[in-house]
Each structure stands twice: as structure tokens, then as C-alpha cells.
Structure 1
Amino acid sequence: MQKSKSTLVKVPSTSSTAQRGLVFSTILLLIVIVGMVLLALYLVKLDRTITHKFEGKRWDIPAKVYSQPLELYQGASVDNDTIKKWLELLNYRSNKSYDRTGSFHKSGSTYYIHTRGFTYSANDIDPEQVIKMSISGGEIKSIQSTQQSKTGIIRLEPVNIGGIYPDNNEDRMVVSLSDVPQPLIDALISTEDRGFYEHKGVSVRGIGRAIVNNFTGGSRQGGSTITQQLIKNFYLNSDRTLKRKANEALMAVLLELHYSKDEILQAYLNEIYLGQNGKRSINGFGLASQFYFNQPLNELRIDQQALLVGMAKGPSVYNPRRHPEAAKNRRDTVLNNMLTMGKITQEEYDTAIKKPLGIVDKAAEGKNLFPDFLDMVKRELNNVYYDDDLKNEGLTIISTLNPVTQLAADKAVEKKLGELRRRGSKTKELQAALVSANPETGELVAVVGSGSEFTGFNRAVDAKRQVGSLLKPVIYMTALESGRYNLASSVDDSPITVELPDGKTWTPKNYDSRDHGFVPLTTALAKSYNQSAVRLGMEFGVGTFAKQLRRLGVKEEIPSYPSVLLGSVNLSPMDMLGVYQVFATGGFRTPIHSIRTVIDDKGRILQRTGLNTKRSIPPDTNFLINYALQGVVKEGTAKRIQSLGSNLNLAGKTGTTNDYRDAWFAGYSGNYVSVVWVGRDDNKSVGLSGGSGALPVWEDYMSRLKLTPVSIPEPEGIEWLWLENNSGKLSNERCANARYLPVLSNYLPREASSCALNIYQEERAREQMAWQQEQSRINRQRRQEGLDIPNSEVIEEDNGSERRADTWYERALEWF
């Protein structure tokens, strides 16, 4: 019998299996714990990222620059043209019912204006109001408002003239949720996230619907909530990766744990990208409203609000300027969503879809209306603020610009420069600069300094050119202040040769190449004679001339050579504006400035420009030089501007440089001091003098404004006397060459003209004879009455007696 073999099988023990399971479970647990810790750390990191940006500085907000407001009050000098232009610049709409902000109605001479209001600072806020105003004869006859005004002044809000933008080229106008119309919010939620107020950041239903639609070939949907869209735009990017989507969902939940729905919605409304304006992006509905409609959000119709909401899906695809049909279809879809959700009625829907898009062809927002003036503001700001603060901190700058005045300057330069350029080859490349200010406040109101496109070269301040005869008044001012000369004094306009330090000589000539001999001081200035100016200037010295310029606010280094007396010093139109501002205000210098106030994003005033007026030259001296400058207009090289009104008492001075390279005019009315330069950038001759080149531009500009007369108060230290013209001696009104002129009280003339002396002696003799006859009559009467005659009163009728022993000057001065 054969023996069978058996196979032994080794069975693992129960304890060994359990041990291995325990190790595996432990490793798995550790992995889970580590994963949870890492996830927790990652969530903490995400959470910090969210709160840091959301609670800190969310955006780089550009600085916005505004003009001065238009002040309205009874008696204010405001005409219909000014109101019309201002309302146009503010994009106000004509509406008979004027029931919405930004609307107005004109009935005859009466305006009804529904203002938008404006925040000047936290403590200076103009609420929206309705103004009723009647204008007649260039002034406001009556004005009423729905809001009480403590000052009696109602301000029509300033015009936005441009901005200073962040380096990231993002532009936005931050709005609070209370400023956003409810229909826009309804449209947004109805279209983008109907469960916004129910979900916790992520909508499971929305994700499921998107998956189904994407896999079944339906319309492609993302399923993102408004919160997720905000996370994507605010913190992440548009990459289509699983990691980015996971981060988006996690951060959306975290965001909703920290902040309310209203806070999230407000951030979304200001963050969303809605188009492109050149290099700058249009972010937020506040800015988009201005960019596409030139109106603030609260003035948009429901259909216009729906258009903006529709663009959120794809600003390029639904750009109403490039793709109007697609934009309209998308708008109508949004309106239908609102109808479905019960946010608008069927009647409102039917009305809205019939409306045209209503997009403006060119957006005013983001466009620098007056780039030359904006450049002046930036330069002034850069002296005080860091560049990043200007670009990123959302500052509001109220400038001194008067938009109506600026438009007048633009039109005047464009018109007259065009005429001058057509004269010939020399003037074909002609350029110009114009600067204008309020002389009393120093506020710059208009600047023209570049061509049609601003390149950064602003001739108003960057073009340092020889100023020619604009500086001659400084020479004559020095002569008058010294007391050696008065307005009727004689000055020598014969040839003069000046020896220079290097041994060479300089022989200036008059522009008419003629010598005029001895001429009255006022004539020499009015006719702008060079030889007399040089003689007078050399009498007091070039050093004295330079000191006088510094007194007048000129900061540039003044050369020491004699030709500087005829303006061979490079100065800008802004430099000359400062000099003539002093002449226009009775000798008081107020620095020219372009900024009134700077306000931060909290409404706090960071800077307020106040009057910093200082006496620059004695008022009595300035009174005389002002009189002489008025003579330039009445009878000199600027006589043509008498056409603006002889009652305005305008004053000013032409300037022309060698070979007719530069043409200047600087002058002033009571309310504007303005300087014009005309020339070529290459410094070639233009063949134009100050009178033929710059003066026509100045005249055209000032003719577009409402001017007030020059009326400088007569200061102490001035007396009016009859003087002999071309000698400065005392005279009499009956003398042929006599002028009634102001004279410094401290330097009254001590000589009289022969004509005046003869008349004086005749008058004295006549008076003496009459006195003697009267005394004789009295004595006869006393004798007849038996009264004694005092010895002191005995009159010898045959011999004239002298009066008491005063000096001739003391006795004669009052008579003269």
C-alpha cells in the first residue's frame, strides 16, 4: 500500500494582520491630519489674503481734477452764453419737467436747473437742488432754490477736466451702494446670480446647471456666483485651471464668512471690468456710466442700466460702439431676465426694448478737456505731493480753471493763429501761448501752451524766450520811484552807445530806425522807443533793473549786460504774467496758482490755497506806472484794443524782439491779466511785432469775456497837478502843452514853465491890485466915519506892497 503525501499551508496569525492594518491606518490618519493641517494653513493664508486687501486699500484710485464751480447769486455777472456752455460741459440734458438731476429747462430768460450736487469736502457738501434763475442784461436778476443757502450763493458744480492715473492704467469712479439705482442691482442679480442673497459664496445648483449645459451642448455657462466673479477679478485671474477654480470657490466661501452681501455687492460694482479707453481700463459701473453715456448712474434709464449689466459678460463682445447689434440683443436679454423675475412690468419692458442704445460717440470721461491747464495743475501738485499719492489715493483737486474763460482762450488762439499762419512762409510754423489770471486772487483761469495734441511741452511755462519791450515799464517805474522824473518829464531818445566790459560797444536802435530827440516820458513808453529806455536804464544801472525784477517776482537769473534793458532775457509767459499781475493790483504781488483745494478720499482738506499777498512796489509808484501803461493803449502801440471799450481803461505793453523773432503783449482789465506770446519753436524770424502778432490774439480773447474797468484806488502820496509835457515843470491848464497828471507828493516839481509863470504873475498882480483897492475903500470909509486907521493897514496906493515873506514855492504851489 502506497503512502500518501500531504501539503502544509502556513496561515498568518491574527495578530500579524492586525498589526499591519494598524500601521496602514496610522499612516493614512497621519496623511489626513497633515492634509487637514496643510489645508487649514492654506485656508488661513487665503483668509489673510482676502481680509488684507478687502479691508485695506482695495484699489489704486486716480486723482480727479475739477474746475472752479460757477457761483450764482443775485447781481452776479453771468450771461446766457455762460450758463449754456457750463451746462453743456456738465452734460446736463434739456427736459421740460427737470424732474431728474442733471436736467434743466429754459423758458424765456428763466432757467430751471436740477443740480447733481457736489462734495467739496466732508464739511462742504452741496446737495442736489432745483434752481430757478432769471438772467437779463448779462447778470442774474433773481434766483431761488429748493435748498437754503446761508451765504446767498448757489454753486453750479465744477467740471471734471481730467485725471492723474495709476501706473496699472486702471481707471474707476468708486460709488457707494446707496448711489447705485435699484433697477441696476435688480438687473445684475436677475442675470448674473439669482440666488445671490441665499447662497454662501458658491451655488451648487448653478454649478450643476453649468455642467449639464456644457455637456449637453447647451449655452456655455460658468456657474460662478457674483462672489466668485469678484474673487476672480479682485484676487485671481481668468486661467481655466482646476486649481484656480478651487481657489475661487474656497475664497468665495471665506469672503462671505467675513463680509455682508451688501459689502460684497458694492465691491463687485466697483471692480467689474467694463471696457477700454485707450490704454486705460474702465472699471466699475460708476465710471462705465460716464464713459458710455456721459451721465452719472442715477440719471440712466432702465434700458441703459441693463446695457451696462449685459456688458459684464463680455465687454469686448458686447461693446456698444463696435458691436451695437450684439449689445442690443444682450441688453434685451437682461431686460427679459428682469421681467421674468418680476423686477419690471410688461409695460416697462415693452418701452425699454424700443429704446435706442443712446451711447455717446465720444466719451468725455477720461479725456483731458484742457490738457495745458491740467499740466499746470500737475506741476503745482508735484511740488507738494509724492507721485504715487497723486496717482493712487483718490484725491479730488478743485482747480482755479474757469471753463468758459478757457474755451474763449482756445478759440481766440485757434482763430487768430490760423489767420497769422496764412500770411506767408515765415508764419506757417507759427505757435502761440496764452495765460490769463484773476489779478486780485492770482488764480490762473486759462492756459494755452501747446498745439492740437499735448506732447508735454507747454509753451506757457516751458518756452523761455526773450521778452523784448515787456520789461520797459520796469525802467520807467524805477525813474518815477526815484523822484527824479514824473510822467511829464523829458527823456532823451537820441542815439546812445554803451561800452561793454569786454571793450566792445553796443548801439541800440529804435524799431522805426529814427531818433526822436527829447520826448515826454509817457510818449517814450507808449511808442516803445529803445534809445530813451536804454539811456534811462543806464542812468540807474543794470543792477538796479535786476533788483526791481526780483521785487516783481521774477526768479530767473538776470544777466548783467545792458541789452537786458531791452528784454534780452529769457522768460516764460507765466513769468511775465506774474510781473503784470503786480501792475494790475496797485503794487501787490499774489503768486499765480492753479489749485484751490486738495481733498483726500475721506473728504479731508489736505491743502487750501489762501491769499498770500505781499506789497511788491509802493502803491503810489504803481499808480503812476499804471497811468503810463494806460497811455500805451490810449495813444501808443496797443491803441487797437481801444475797440474793446474806451471806458475799460485797459493797460498793457507790446513786446518785440530782435529780427522779429518773438511777438508779445501783456495787459489787463479790472478782472483779467493776460499775456500772449507768438513765435516759432525754432526761433526763426516771424516778421511780426507785438502789435501785429500777439495783440490781435489778446484782443480776440478778451473780447469774448465780460470785462470790468481798470480801477486802481488812488493811494496816499498822490497829488494831481497841471504839468508842462516834456519838461515836467509846473504848468497851468491854460497853457498849450499842459497835462493834468498824478505826481508823487514827496517829489513835487519845484520849477514852473514860463507860460505858467506869466499867468501866475498876472494873477498875482491882479489879486494884489484888487486887495489894494479893497483896503483903500475900507480906509476911506473909516475916515468918513471918524475912525482911526491902524498903521499896519495904511495903504500907499501909488506903491504896491509885497505880501508876507513866504518863499515863492510855498506861495505858488497851492495855486498851481
Structure 2
Amino acid sequence: MTKRRSTARRTKSPSTPRRGWALARLWIFYGLLLAVALLGIWTLYLDSVVREKFEGKKWSLPARVYARPLELYQGQSLTPALFEQELRALGYRFESNADAPGKVLKKVSAASHEVTYHIHSRGFAFWDKTEPARKFMLRVGNNEVQGLIDLAGADLPIVRLEPEEIGGFYPADKEDRLLVRLADLPPLLGETLLAVEDKHFLDHHGVSPLAIIRAAWVNATSGEVVQGGSTITQQLVKNFYLTNEQSILRRKIPEAIMSVLLEVHYSKSEILETYINEVFLGQSGSRSINGFALGAQHYFRQPLSELDVHELALLVGVVKGASYYNPWRNPERAKERRNVVLAVMHKEGLIDAQQLKRAQAAPLGIVAEGESRTTTYPAFMELVKRQLNQDYKESDLRSEGLRIFTTLSPMVQRQAEKSMKLRVDQLEKQFKTKNVQGSMVVTSVGGGEILALLGDRNPRFSGFNRALDAKRPVGSLLKPFVYLAALEIPQQYNLGTIISDAPVSYKSGGKWWAPQNADKKDHGDIPLYKGLAYSYNQSTARLGMTIGLDRVAKVVKRAGYEGKVPELPAMLLGAVDMSPMEVAGMYHTLAAEGVYTPLHAIREVLAADGKPLKRYPLELEQRFDAESIFQLQYAMQRTLREGTGRSAYNQIPSAIDLAGKTGTTNDQRDSWFAGYSGEHLAIVWLGRDDNSATPLSGAGGALQVWTDFMKHLPTRSLSQEPPPGVSFDWLDEKTGKLSAETCEGAVWLPLRDDFRPLQSVECELQNKNPIKSFWHKLVN
């Protein structure tokens, strides 16, 4: 009997597939559980990232650097042209009325040639107080302020306009922004931003699925990306936390999660305010323009509060793509985008039909692209940075939002730039030469404030700063200090003392040193003042050697020079290398009646919250007596009236008394001029970087730049009132003895009362001819 085989051997157990599916489900469950756990951990990590940055220090804020404010007062030296240039640089608009901050009304009187301005200033928080916005009237005539009153008719002692921002020290990421609170935002800008970028911002929770679906449909049907589905919160997350990586895992998913987390932790107002200060709106060189407040300055040089409807629309339009809608490079594209935004504003009831029509017809209204850049004075900014580095860390300057108030006068700086460029171009053409470089330092007289600085003939060049770092022989610029050393010996020397300009030679370093005059002539016995006024080498060398090299070297050091002065005969004629800044420091002591003041570029430093951090008080030290300085200054005035600098008065009004000195080195490698009024000191250097010869003497080169600068600058004449102990009298220029007005060879000179000559010269009176006598009096 055959046995039936067991079915267990021929068929599988029905429980086997059930166990397989159960195991698979278990793995899926654990996988999902792991994914949820990882997602939770990732979300917790993203949550910590969101909260840490949002609640901490959101941005590294650059230090902002300001020029000195324009202070207006009765009697101030000012021309309408320079004043209007200053107003335009600050973004003021000339309109038919001054009914809002930033507006100016101009009226010209044909009869009196006076110009009257009605101005509505903006106000500004300075280091000492907050200057309120105010309406006032300014009247300018005869190159000075004739009247300053408020619109109620009361006289104003002084009005201080807001300072021009001239630069900053930017973070490593080169981001720049001006922070603005949501409450200070023009309501129309906020409403337009929501209408264009995220109409349902108040309704969603960070991500809007409907917006994503709608954008996907529009893009699919159009065949290109024409609409985005990102909310304002998502845009903020992308810009604030993430990179521009477009992959879904590396940006889109964390962007969505972080957007929801932002909405969970923070209010809509906080998110929107952060977005308004974060959004990218353009590029200025290597510096990115972030936030609407800085965007307004970048494109219009206006605060947000002063923008018109069409300007607000352009800012909102640029949000979609700052490069694509760049109004300088793509003006038509930018205007088309602006008009689209304006249409949305009208559709949403934010503006009426008349406003829409007027705004769409308006030009873009942007400033010239070069004028939008903030840092326009690289040479001066380099000086500011060097002085700040003595007190502050580099990291603090780039992250703490310091406010730095400087001494730079944009009005003076612009005039210096113009004078340098036009004159050097003209000189190169005139002498058929090239590669002439230049630098210039301008200071206030008495305060030692640096008003302007040029380190290159091209004022925008940010490389080698010749004003600070180019040390060149100063030539005859050193001669005034030789004569000052002599005048400090009043029992031996005054301006009429007779000195010899005969040939001279001295042994130095084993060789004979025998300087000659520039005209190759000997002038015999001359009064002391002529040796300086005409810059004679022979008389200066003899005088310096007579009183002693050590005495002259000490005078140079007392004047403010901190370098080494070689006590060699050639030093007397300027064989000392100095930078224009060092020369300015020495000559400022002369211009300030013998009072030494360290030159400085910074007035005040404030923290981001306005708290004063560092003051730079004025340091004064009387290093020379007023009697000697007044006599020296008079001789330097004669330099411009009759000596090597006399060409200046062919262009400058003769009623303005100025003092100065030319300087020329061997083979005319360096052309110098140092001169001052009662208000401004300016040092000019021209030459070549390779130290090769030029066709320019001090009078033919640097003096011409200086003259162009001074003739257009409102300035105050030197005082002709001698100090106590000094009075004018007539001296005979052949003997140095006392003379009389009508005597042959009589010259009118200041003398110390206690060291006047004891003898008088016998002379023939010249008053027989009244016309000759009158002319003689005018000339002398």
C-alpha cells in the first residue's frame, strides 16, 4: 500500500508571507520614525539657528563717517554757487516752495545781486545736541551771509545743517544698511510692499501653499518663470539665513521650515521690520545696499520720508531683482517695472488716478551713478582710519555702528579737487609734459582742522596717499624758519636789518657747498625781508650759518616737525624730506600766530545709540612769540605782493591779504607752495613719482594750483593789526636806519618797540612832486 506524501513538503506555510510583510512594515515604521526623529532634530537645530540670530545681534553695522556740518551765521564767507553745491550734495531739492524738509526756494534780486533762500532743514542728532528741523531764510550778498532769520522774522545766531556722509568702515561681508523702525517707515511704502510682494502676509503662517500653486501654474502656462510663490517671510529667511543654492534639500525645504518657525516665535511686525532692513536693493562697488533706508540714499540721495510716489514705487520694484532692474544700466526696464508697481498701487486703492498718471509720467529721478557712492574721499578716509586705529579695534569699526564726525569740509574739498585737476591738466598741456602728480592739504587756521586732503591728482584714487606718505625735499619752504630764528634775536635782527647776498661757500662733509641764487645773480647788501620775499639762496645760507644750524633746527622742531633735521648747511635751503601733511603742521604754527596745534581729522565719536565715546579736544601751545611771528608773516606777505609769489595777485583780489612761500628743489623735481589767509592754510605739491625733473618751479606749478583754489574760496583776509609791542615805521632799505615816508628808499616795516634802530638816515624829501609822493605811498 503506497503512502500519500505529506502536503507539508509540497506547499509553503500560509504564515510565511504574512511574516515578510510584517517585517517590511516594521522597517517602514522604524524608517519613518527615524525620519521623523531626524526631522525633529533638524527642526530643533533650525529653530536654534532662527532664534539665535533673530534675537541676537542681527547685523554687523559699519561705522558711518560724516563731514563737518555747514554752519551758517551772519557775516560768514559764502558764495551762492558753493552754498547751492553743498545743498545739492545733501539732497535738497530746489522747488517752488519750502513746505517740507529737504526743500529750498531760491529768489534772486536783480537790483542788489543778493540771493535769498527759504530752506526747510531736516534736523540731525549731533554729538552735542539734536538740531531740530526748521524753516529759515538765508540772504547771501557780496560773498557773505547778510541775513539769517526764521520764517517768523526772528534773527538766528547760527543754523547747523546736517552733515554729509562721506564713507564708512564696512563688515567683512561688505553689507551696508541704515536701520529704520517700522513705525518710521512711510505708510505708503509698507502698503505697496505688501500689495506687490505678499498680499496675504497677515493671513499665512510663513508659507502660502496657494501662492506656490498659483505661481507654479502661471510659470507652467507661460513657459518661463514670471512669478514667485515665496512669501515675505520666505524671502527674509533666504536672504537672512541661507545661501542662493537652488537645490530643494539645501534651500527650499529648510526655507519653508524656518519660515514657519519664524512665524511661530515672532510677530508679523518684527518679521516685516527685519525684512525692510535686510532686503537687497543694489550694489555700490564691493558694498551691497541692503534695506529701504539705504536704498533711498543710494538711488535718490534722499531719506525715505522725502520720497515721492514714483520713487517709492521704484524701490519696491527693484526688490524683484536689483541687478535686472538696475535703473542706471537698464533704465527702460526699471521704468517699466516701476509703472507696474504703480498700477498695483492704484488697483489696491493706495493712490488715485491722478497720482497714477503723474507718477507714471515722471522720470526715474535717480542721481548720477557715481554720485550715489558714499565713499568719495579716499585720501581723507585713509587719514581718518589711521587716527581711529590709535583708539579703536578694526573689528569695532566694522561692526558696532559707530558714528564718526570729522573735520572735512565738502565745500573746501570739492574746490581743492577742481583746482588740482584743471590746473595740472592745463600745465601738462602748456609745457607739453605728462605724468605730473599732485597732493594738497587744507586746514582751518587756528583750529588745526583738516578741511580737505588730496593724495593724488585724481581725487577718487584710493592707492598711494602722497599727502601722508610721499616725503620729498621741501626746498625753499624751509627758509621762513631760518628768518624766524633770526627774528627771535631782536637785538640783532629786524626786517630792515642789512644782510649780504654775496657769493658764499662752506665746507660740509669734506666738500665745499656753494649755493647760487635761482637767477644766477648776486644782489649785494639787502634788507632782511627781501632775502625771504625773493627767496635768495646766498643771503639765506649766510644768515642761517651766522645764527647757527642748531638754532634753525630747533625752530623747525618747535614749529611741529617730528622728524630728524640734519644739521648740515644744505638744510637751510630745504634739504629735508617731508610729506605735505608735515609741512602743513609746521606752517599752521606760523599761520596761527605761533600757537602749535596738532592737525586732526576727527571731532567726535559716538556709539550707535548716540552715547559719546571719544572727544578730541583742541590742544594749544604758544611756541613762538607773537612779535616775531607778525614780522615773519609780513615778510611772507611781501613774498606774494612783490616776490616769488607775486603772480597770485594777478587773479586774487588785492584787497585780500595773504602770506606764503614758494619752494623748488634741484632740477625742479618738486614744486611746492605753502600759503594762508586769516582763515585757510593750503599746502600744494606737484612732481613725478619717479623723482624725475619737471618744467615746473614752485611759482610756475604749485602756486598756480594754490591760486586757483584760493580765488574761488570765500576766506578772511589776514589781520594787519600788529600785536602789542610792535608798530610800523619807515626804514632805509640801504642802511637799515630809521627813515621817513618821503625819503628815497624808505620802506614801511613792523618793528619791535623795544628794539627799534637808534639812528636815523639823512635823506632828501621827495614831496616836491605830489603825484610821485602819492604813488610812492601806494607802492610801499
Please report the TM-score for the alignment, with normalisation by the length of structure 2. 0.88
1:179-233 deviation line (CA, Å, top 9, x unaligned)? 3221221111112111212222222332343454456668744422111110111
| Partner residue in 2 for 1:394 | 401
Determine if the alignment matches structure 1 residue 667 to structure 2 residue 675: yes
Task: Give runs of aligned pairs for residues 73-472 of structure 1, distance below 5 A.
Answer: 73-108=73-108, 109-121=115-127, 124-145=129-150, 152-213=157-218, 220=225, 221-243=227-249, 244-425=251-432, 427-452=433-458, 453-472=460-479
Counterpart of 2:183, as a letter, is S
| Partner residue in 2 for 1:690 | 698
The Cα shift of 1:670 comes to 0.7
1:150-176 deviation line (CA, Å, top 9, x unaligned)? 973212222233333333233333333
Structure-2 separation of matches of 1:359 and 1:619 = 54
Structure-2 separation of matches of 1:519 and 1:639 = 19
1:690-742 deviation line (CA, Å, top 9, x unaligned)? 22222222122111012212117644443555544454445566765555543
8 Å Cα contact 2:475-2:665 kept in structure 1: yes
Structure-2 separation of matches of 1:370 and 1:6 = 102
Structure-1 separation of matches of 2:438 and 2:376 = 19
Out of 689, 704, 710, the residue aligned to residue 702 of structure 1 is 710
3-state DSSP class of the match of 2:520? coil
Structure-2 separation of matches of 1:567 and 1:616 = 22
1:578-614 deviation line (CA, Å, top 9, x unaligned)? 1211111110011222222233322223333321111
3-state DSSP class of the match of 1:184? helix
- Stretches of structure 2 that go unaligned for 5 or more consecutive residues are 109-114, 766-780
Out of 759, 767, 771, the residue aligned to residue 752 of structure 1 is 759
Out of 664, 685, 706, the residue aligned to residue 656 of structure 1 is 664
Over 3 Å counting, the alpha-carbon distance change for 1:354 and 1:365 in structure 2 is closer
Over 3 Å counting, the alpha-carbon distance change for 1:5 and 1:445 in structure 2 is closer
The Cα shift of 1:555 comes to 1.5
Over 3 Å counting, the alpha-carbon distance change for 1:648 and 1:548 in structure 2 is same
- Percent identity between matched residues is 43
| Partner residue in 1 for 2:112 | none
Over 3 Å counting, the alpha-carbon distance change for 1:742 and 1:327 in structure 2 is closer
| Partner residue in 1 for 2:68 | 68
The Cα shift of 1:383 comes to 3.6
Q: Which piece of structure 1 moves more, 511-520 or 601-610?
A: 601-610
8 Å Cα contact 1:470-1:567 kept in structure 2: yes
8 Å Cα contact 2:280-2:290 kept in structure 1: yes
8 Å Cα contact 1:489-1:521 kept in structure 2: yes
The Cα shift of 1:566 comes to 0.4
Out of 569, 585, 607, the residue aligned to residue 578 of structure 1 is 585
Task: Give runs of aligned pairs for residues 396-795 of structure 1, distance below 5 A.
Answer: 396-425=403-432, 427-452=433-458, 453-483=460-490, 484-500=492-508, 502-643=509-650, 644-711=652-719, 714-718=722-726, 723-729=731-737, 736-739=744-747, 741-744=749-752, 747-749=755-757, 751-753=758-760, 755=762
1:655-687 deviation line (CA, Å, top 9, x unaligned)? 122222222221111111112222222222223
Counterpart of 1:334, as a letter, is V
Structure-2 separation of matches of 1:266 and 1:176 = 7
3-state DSSP class of the match of 1:755? coil
Over 3 Å counting, the alpha-carbon distance change for 1:320 and 1:408 in structure 2 is closer
Over 3 Å counting, the alpha-carbon distance change for 1:645 and 1:330 in structure 2 is closer
Counterpart of 1:504, as a letter, is K
The Cα shift of 1:36 comes to 5.4
Over 3 Å counting, the alpha-carbon distance change for 1:334 and 1:696 in structure 2 is closer
Structure-1 separation of matches of 2:40 and 2:590 = 75
8 Å Cα contact 1:661-1:679 kept in structure 2: yes
Structure-2 separation of matches of 1:19 and 1:3 = 32
Over 3 Å counting, the alpha-carbon distance change for 1:215 and 1:692 in structure 2 is closer
Q: Which piece of structure 1 moves more, 580-589 or 710-719?
A: 710-719
The Cα shift of 1:623 comes to 1.9
Counterpart of 1:156, as a letter, is L
The Cα shift of 1:508 comes to 1.1
1:105-160 deviation line (CA, Å, top 9, x unaligned)? 11233212222332324x63233332222333333333333799997321222223
Structure-1 separation of matches of 2:482 and 2:137 = 53
The Cα shift of 1:2 comes to 9.5
Structure-2 separation of matches of 1:2 and 1:378 = 110
Q: C-alpha root-mean-square deviation of aligned residues, in Å?
A: 3.4
The Cα shift of 1:568 comes to 1.0
Over 3 Å counting, the alpha-carbon distance change for 1:361 and 1:514 in structure 2 is closer
Structure-2 separation of matches of 1:344 and 1:647 = 59
| Partner residue in 1 for 2:771 | none
The Cα shift of 1:73 comes to 2.8
Over 3 Å counting, the alpha-carbon distance change for 1:444 and 1:361 in structure 2 is closer
Structure-1 separation of matches of 2:359 and 2:140 = 38
Counterpart of 2:372, as a letter, is E
Structure-1 separation of matches of 2:220 and 2:642 = 91
Structure-2 separation of matches of 1:33 and 1:712 = 94
- Stretches of structure 1 that go unaligned for 5 or more consecutive residues are 760-816
Over 3 Å counting, the alpha-carbon distance change for 1:245 and 1:492 in structure 2 is same
Please report the TM-score for the alignment, with normalisation by the length of structure 1. 0.84
The Cα shift of 1:100 comes to 3.3
Q: Which has the larger radius of gyration?
A: 1
